[in-house]
Amino acid sequence: MTIDVEGLDLEVLESNNWEKFKPEYILIEVLKLNFNEISNDKITLFLEEKGYQVFAKCVNTVFFKKKTT
């Protein structure tokens, strides 16, 4: 799933039905944060609660991967 809605990314994530739709990867545009700052971002914290972890960052896109159990 790729999300780029100019500042409304968290709202889009919150509106998802996580019981029904849980993609393997989520790509989100995160501006003005370096790789070390991503862990404290509210989007990252939300996705960690949903079972995702930061997988990679490429310029302004952060890749989240569903954690394996």
Task: Give me the residue label for tokens 């500042």.
Answer: 7
How far is Cα 32 from Cα 16, in angstroms, rounded to an integer?
Answer: 25
Strands ordered across the beta sheet of 52-58: 2-3, 25-29, 61-66, 52-58
**Cα 54–chain centre separation:** 7
* 3-state secondary structure at position 42: helix
Residue % of the chain over a pLDDT of 70: 99
Q: What is the pLDDT of residues 34-67, one digit of tens each?
A: 888 888 899 999 999 999 999 999 888 999 999 9
Domain extents for the chain?
A: 2-66
Task: Enter the tokens of residue 24.
Answer: 């393997």
Give the predicted TM-score (pTM) of the model: 0.89
